[in-house]
Amino acid sequence: MDEQPQDDSLPAEDENDHGFEIGREHKGLSLFDFLDAMVGPLDRKAVGRATRDGHVTLNGDPTGPTATLTQGDLVELTVPAEELARTRSSHVPLLHRSETLVVGDKPSGLPFDSGRRGGPSALEEIATALGGEQRPRPVHRLDKDTSGVVVAALGRAAEEALTEDLGAGRARVEYLAVVRGSLREERGVIDVPLGKRSRSDSRMVPDLDHGAPSSTTWALEEQLRGYAIVRLIPAGRGRSHQVRAHLAAWGRPALCDRAYGEDDRVLLSQLKLDYRPKRGRPERPILARPALHAERFVRGDLEVVAPIPQDLSVLLAQLRRLFAVA
């Protein structure tokens, strides 16, 4: 068997996550194509502005996005990659609407609510879709990188009723996640109190002494060789990052969930050892965000399902093709 091409492009020593030393696998690429593969998808015009402003350097000097890289070059990016990101879809289809309730399908990459700097958000998109008739009252939120159902009530009474139903287990949100490993059991409960290390840290960690009581039920959906697809249901309304933190506490963080100890992307060459990317072109990741999707909202006889998004569908198709259990 021929030796796999080696990717020597590694974060530069003593640099942050946006300093890279160019290896032989990426020599000959343009600066933009390299950065787009490593921290993208990026907007070409935004990268051009960053190079002109000196926020992207090549061997310590300002450069342009079309500069050709050679082995041993040092590329440094001194602004957050998010500021150079390609605009993602901000459209939030409404999966269900009634007099008291609306359920939307949030894409990955879209914040649930607008930050201090403003910008598009799922809540804003839902309000626009409602035509300004009523102000949606959020009851179930999602992290920016998690896709799937988001739930808002229409009116104070509806909000109180839905909040009570979620707390009592009469309503729930079910998640699907892809994790590494083989599961010996088909179902279980992760019952671990969660808290934050600091106010500025969004991550939740196990805190047996002072954490908020939190539990998540899981069930095995599909076992593959070395990977598993699991369904997760947080008890009550759930807490910020609860599913992600409980998966990490279980020792099986969602695939690509860098905040909880996983690699930040999955490449086809990592799954299929004989795969070789096209020469002269960087390999784009199959998935570059946590493999977590809020798949359905259930309340009594109502069941609303958010379709699996394309990036997760591609990942699942490759895993099933390459690692199906005989």
CATH of 10-84, one of 3.40.50.12780, 3.40.50.970, 3.10.290.10, 1.10.260.40: 3.10.290.10
Whether residue 149 contacts residue 296, with contact meaning beta carbons closer than 8 Å, is answered with yes
Quick one: pLDDT at residue 188? Answer: 96
| Domain locations in the chain as residue ranges | 10-84, 94-323
Q: How far is the C-alpha of 9 from the C-alpha of 4, rounded, in Å?
A: 15
Residue 98, φ and ψ in degrees, nearest 5: -135, -170
Q: How far is the C-alpha of 101 from the C-alpha of 36, rounded, in Å?
A: 40
Quick one: pLDDT at residue 11? Answer: 41
pTM: 0.75
What's the mean pLDDT in 205-210?
89
Whether residue 65 contacts residue 100, with contact meaning beta carbons closer than 8 Å, is answered with no
Q: How far is the C-alpha of 305 from the C-alpha of 295, rounded, in Å?
A: 6
Residue 162, φ and ψ in degrees, nearest 5: -70, -40
Q: Which helix (H) or strand (E) holds 88?
A: none
pLDDT digit string (tens) for 1-58? 443 333 434 344 333 347 888 887 777 888 888 888 777 778 888 888 888 888 899 9
Whether residue 253 contacts residue 247, with contact meaning beta carbons closer than 8 Å, is answered with yes
**Residue 91 pLDDT grade (very low, low, confident, very high; cuts 50, 70, 90):** confident
For the domain made up of 94-323, the CATH class stated in words is alpha beta
The count of residues in the chain is 326
**Residue 88 pLDDT grade (very low, low, confident, very high; cuts 50, 70, 90):** low
The one-letter amino acid code at 235 reads A
Which H, E and C letters describe 32-77, residue by residue?
A: HHHHHHHHCCECHHHHHHHHHCCCEEECCEECCCCCECCCCCEEEE
